Amino acid sequence: MFTPKPRQEENLFYLLAAIGGLVSAIGLAAALYMEHEGHVVTGMNNQIVWGLPHVVAIFLIVAASGVLNVASMGSVFGRVLYKSRAPLSGLLGIAMLSGGLAIIMLDLGRADRIIVAMTHFNPTSVFGWNVILYPVFYAFVGIYLWTMMERRMNPYSKVAGLATFIWRIILTTGTGSIFAFLVARQAYGSALLAPMFIIMSFSWGLAVFIVVQATMYAWNGMQLPPLILQRMKNLLATLVAAVLYFTAVLHLVSAYFAKQTAFEYFILVDSEFSGMFWIGQVLIGSLLPLTLLFHPATRAKVAWINLAAALVIVGAFFQLYVFIIGGQAFPLEMFPGYDIKSSFFDGTVDHYSARLPEILLALGGVAIAFTMTTIGVRALHFLPQDDIAELEAAIRITD
Amino acid sequence: MTSPQTPDNARRKFIAAAGAGVAGLGFTAIAPGLHLMAVGEANAAPTPRKAGEPANPAVRWGLLIDANKCAPGCTKCIDACHTENGVSANLPDPRQNSQWIRKIELVDRRPGKTRGHVTQLPMMCQHCAEPPCVDVCPTGASMKRADGIVLVDRHTCIGCRYCMMACPYKARSFVHAPLNDQNPEVPRGKGCVESCTLCVHRIDKGQQPACVESCPEGAMTFGDLNDADSAIAKRIASVPTTQVRADLRLNPGVRYEGL
């Protein structure tokens, strides 16, 4: 793998930070354009009201809480392997949440009224809960990082880690509940979505962590101890399988309900989303990574494991695209037993094509997360420092 | 949560104390030739609401639509609504245009004698007693007025579109582009969500919704669902009527006949 020399390294860092900053700025400019012209310049409409920005934002928000699990396993569950990775996990959590929230807020029809969202609170709204959940998440992670990085505060890091862990479970429950509390559309309105989002966050967060960790080790010309990668890979495989299991149960139960069969047929068999589901989510995002993680020829090789993690991230985007866009493209069933049509496209399957402004806004959010991570990692020395002897001893005990 | 049927006793006492004479005066002032006798007849006009006076929680405004009378090809209710509220459809992607009311054509596909039967009906915000849009709105901009009318406060709507995800009737539209030539009585705004207001500005003046008034077939009845003597309540009590997506138990204020 490519490892830059010290002088090169400095230049490369500035280049990466500049690219990240530039893409973030372009995303912001796209948002201002949307604000000025209205959402008429996007591919979103009155049927598909949430588009690509929401797909990317929800990925970042869900993975942000999941990536924090690496820290939780160190602090809360006492796993030595993860303990040295806790600060990096906290930084990634904050960076990804910032990117995701930036997208959601800048996509608002009235982004200028964000202060209204903070001063007017509707307790029955899951979105309203999230307005509280996110800032508190920042606060918890901030305090948690402080207890880990400030030696005098170290004794409190377990308590802070536990509080953060509990809060992140609540936060992802809140994200899943955004959809779980929707009665109108066939794709949503299932209590299963809250725990499913938590499992998804575990899987996607760990995949992101593995990819970032691999990049950092390569950057510094270091080799990740195989023992560590082995552990992380086993956990990732378990989580990927768990997400696949939840997906199967969700669709099986839904397909059994007579009122849902038309929608399930649409998603799984007869729509532009069927290919994305089977090839993108199931094959690329689940089966292929599982094969790479378990096959004797690939399971012990760093590059294959990193590829598996990257595929999990790709699959996550397909999954959210099918879930969010596919769920809205299917027409609302207002009159069961009737064919329905109208000037407002009732009864018609909608097609969504993201347009440049919303693509740039979504990329801008990813760039915010990337830039914050790049600068944070360099400024605060977040590279995990492992004591291999201690690690091996700890693993012997837990095994 | 206060149900729309729950009377506000203080308000009721005040109204009682105000006396029938004042009420009668107010009523006759609506339009010449319209008397208290008209209450209970089809499409009675509402009592006007004075500026600064809260909406009456004892009332629940609603619509009864007779789908049998809704003529194929007729769009008078849509035209009247969009003229009254300044809603225009001029965006290149028609899916981005606002539609506060639309005509739906239904073809019966159920086995039986009615198979293939075609029905027309206007569809708009159903002004639910338990509106999901109000539940999910993060800022409380989506709200239900005391008299049952579901509205969007254009000052606090942040344009998140969560209400559009939650509405089972596709009743809401998002304003996708800047607006010109608005009706001063019906403020709208780019980046906000909007839907049928039941012509709240007309109701407050003692008039009926524009769609109701414009229907040449008399297919729409407007009135107080809580008033057992109103034409709408009597009709609902005497003929089979339908609530769209009754399975959700949202108790819509718009009911359909002939479905």
Nearest Cα of chain B lies from the Cα of A239 at a distance, in angstroms, of: 30
Per-residue pLDDT at B7 exceeds 50: no
Average pLDDT of every residue of chain A = 92
Residue count of chain A, please give it: 399
Per-residue pLDDT at A76 exceeds 90: no
Please check whether residue B91 touches A, CB under 8 A: yes
Is there a contact between A182 and B166 (Cβ–Cβ < 8 Å)?
yes
What pLDDT was estimated at residue B221?
97
The percent of residues in chain A predicted with pLDDT above 90, rounded, is 76
Is there a contact between A137 and A172 (Cβ–Cβ < 8 Å)?
no
Please judge whether A39 and B176 are an interchain contact, meaning their C-beta atoms are less than 8 angstroms apart.
yes
* Residue B118, beta-bridge partner list: B107
Higher pLDDT, residue A279 or A5: A279
What pLDDT was estimated at residue B43?
64
Per-residue pLDDT at B220 exceeds 70: yes
Question: What average pLDDT does range A369-393 have in this prediction?
Answer: 81
What pLDDT was estimated at residue A38?
97
The bridge status of strand B173-174 relative to strand B193-194 is: antiparallel
- Looking at the domain covering B9-257, what would its CATH class be? alpha beta
What pLDDT was estimated at residue B1?
39
First to last CA, chain A: 32
Question: Which distant-in-sequence residues (6+ apart) come within 8 Å of A78 by Cβ?
Answer: none
Pick the CATH number of A43-332+341-350+371-382 from 3.40.50.10330, 1.20.1630.10, 3.30.1370.160, 3.30.365.10: 1.20.1630.10
* Amino acid in position A111: A
What pLDDT was estimated at residue B50?
85
Task: Write out the two tokens for A325.
Answer: 């866009």
In the numeric block, the tokens 């790049």 are attached to A374
Residues 296-335 of A with CB under 8 A from B: 328, 332, 334-335
Domain boundaries, chain A: 43-332+341-350+371-382
- The gap from C-alpha B62 to its chain's centroid, in whole angstroms, comes to 6
Question: What average pLDDT does range B63-75 have in this prediction?
Answer: 96
* Residue of B175, B169, B95, B174 lying closest to B132 (CA atoms): B169
What pLDDT was estimated at residue A3?
66
Pairwise CA distance, residues A273 & A270, whole Å: 8
Please check whether residue B169 touches A, CB under 8 A: yes
User: What ranges make up the beta strands (E) of chain A?
Assistant: 338-342
Domain boundaries, chain B: 9-257
The percent of residues in chain A predicted with pLDDT above 70, rounded, is 96
* Residue B152, beta-bridge partner list: B142
* Residue of A210, A214, A212 lying closest to A222 (CA atoms): A214
Per-residue pLDDT at A2 exceeds 90: no
Q: What is the pLDDT of residues A32-73, one digit of tens each?
A: 999 999 999 999 999 999 999 999 999 999 999 999 988 888
**For residue A339, how many C-alpha atoms fall within 13 Å in the half-sphere facing its CB?**
6
Contacts of A49 in chain B (CB under 8 A): 161, 164-165, 174
Among A205-214, B18-27, B89-98, B145-154, the least confident range: B18-27
* Residue of B215, B102, B74, B82 lying closest to B169 (CA atoms): B102
Is there a contact between A248 and A256 (Cβ–Cβ < 8 Å)?
no
Closest residue in B to A47 (Cα–Cα): B95
Indicate the pLDDT class of residue A397, thresholds 50, 70 and 90.
low
What pLDDT was estimated at residue B5?
41
What pLDDT was estimated at residue B102?
97
What pLDDT was estimated at residue A399?
57
ipTM: 0.92
Task: Write out the two tokens for B161.
Answer: 């579109």
Question: What average pLDDT does range B178-205 have in this prediction?
Answer: 94
Per-residue pLDDT at A131 exceeds 80: yes
Facing residue for B168 by CB, picked from A45, A178, A334: A334
Per-residue pLDDT at B19 exceeds 70: no
Nearest Cα of chain A lies from the Cα of B139 at a distance, in angstroms, of: 5
What pLDDT was estimated at residue B52?
86
Is there a contact between B199 and B205 (Cβ–Cβ < 8 Å)?
no
Is there a contact between B176 and A38 (Cβ–Cβ < 8 Å)?
yes
What pLDDT was estimated at residue A342?
95
* Residue of A380, A398, A382 lying closest to A390 (CA atoms): A398
Indicate the pLDDT class of residue B2, thresholds 50, 70 and 90.
very low
Question: What average pLDDT does range A361-382 have in this prediction?
Answer: 92
Pairwise CA distance, residues B40 & B155, whole Å: 37
Question: What average pLDDT does range B153-160 have in this prediction?
Answer: 96
Contacts of B248 in chain A (CB under 8 A): 183
What pLDDT was estimated at residue B88?
87
Closest residue in B to A332 (Cα–Cα): B168
Facing residue for B135 by CB, picked from A47, A114, A124: A124
What pLDDT was estimated at residue B27?
37
Per-residue pLDDT at B12 exceeds 50: no
User: How many CB atoms are closer than 10 A to CB B153?
Assistant: 15
Question: What average pLDDT does range B15-20 have in this prediction?
Answer: 44
